Amino acid sequence: MFRFVAALFLLVSLSFATVASAQTETTTTTVHRTVRRSHRVASHPEETDVEIQTGRVQLRDDAFVYSRASKWSKTIDRVHAPKFVNVTGSTRNYLQIKLKDGQTGYIVPSAVKLVLPTQKDFILTADAPVYAAPNRFSSRLAEVHSGHNVNVTGLALNYLKIRMKSGVEGYIPQTAVQ
């Protein structure tokens, strides 16, 4: 009889310990999830930093126009290929455009024909970084120095697409060639 009561006591105490630890874990999980939600809502500074660029580019595909440089922002319009759009700037992942009604919106660069092909050689008048994409937010691939020749293979807004002797292709600011 004594063994039965001891076993019953052990079983009851274990179940209370399990319930207490489950309540503690639930509270901890709830607090942790709340912290993560507030972290996701924060905007990134690079999304709001706009490099001024000007140009008129043709749409390659139909695209949504967003109110901010984020696909989670409000959709304000839809633009259709093969029409042209006026680009007023660029962020890390989006092009800033001006719509016909005067609104400013953002589209993905893959929706436009960003690079117009050309084939010219220029002499650099200033040192310039070579970027992976036609904006200052992209990674630097190399640097070209003034006085050297560059082979320009395309024009992209305020940037020139170049091919280096090593075969690397990248973008330099137009201000480096005048």
Query: What pLDDT, in 10s, does the model give residues 97-114?
Result: 999 999 999 999 999 998
Dist CA 7 CA 149 (whole Å): 89
Mean pLDDT throughout 37-47? 45
Q: Higher-confidence residue: 2 or 155?
A: 155
Q: The whole model's pTM is what?
A: 0.67
Helix (H/G/I), strand (E/B), else coil: 65:
strand
pLDDT digits (tens, 9 = 90+) for 67-100: 999 989 999 999 999 999 999 999 989 999 999 9
Mean pLDDT throughout 42-68? 81
pLDDT at 37 over 60: no
Q: Determine the pLDDT at residue 63.
A: 94
Q: Determine the pLDDT at residue 139.
A: 93
Mean pLDDT throughout 121-141? 92
Q: Determine the pLDDT at residue 61.
A: 93
Position 28 confidence tier, pLDDT thresholds 50, 70, 90: very low
Q: Which two tokens stand for residue 29?
A: 């999980």
Out of 41-50, 72-81, 163-172, which region has the weakest mean confidence (pLDDT)? 41-50
Q: How many CB atoms lie within 10 A of CB 70?
A: 16
What's the mean per-residue pLDDT of the chain? 80
Q: Which two tokens stand for residue 163?
A: 């091919």
Tell me how far CA of residue 107 lies from CA of 76, 77, 138, 139, 151, in angstroms.
Answer: 11, 10, 17, 21, 30
Question: For the purposes of burial, counting CB atoms within 10 Å of the CB of 54, is it exposed (0-12), middle (13-18) or buried (19 or more)?
Answer: exposed
Q: Determine the pLDDT at residue 114.
A: 87
Position 13 confidence tier, pLDDT thresholds 50, 70, 90: low
Position 134 confidence tier, pLDDT thresholds 50, 70, 90: very high
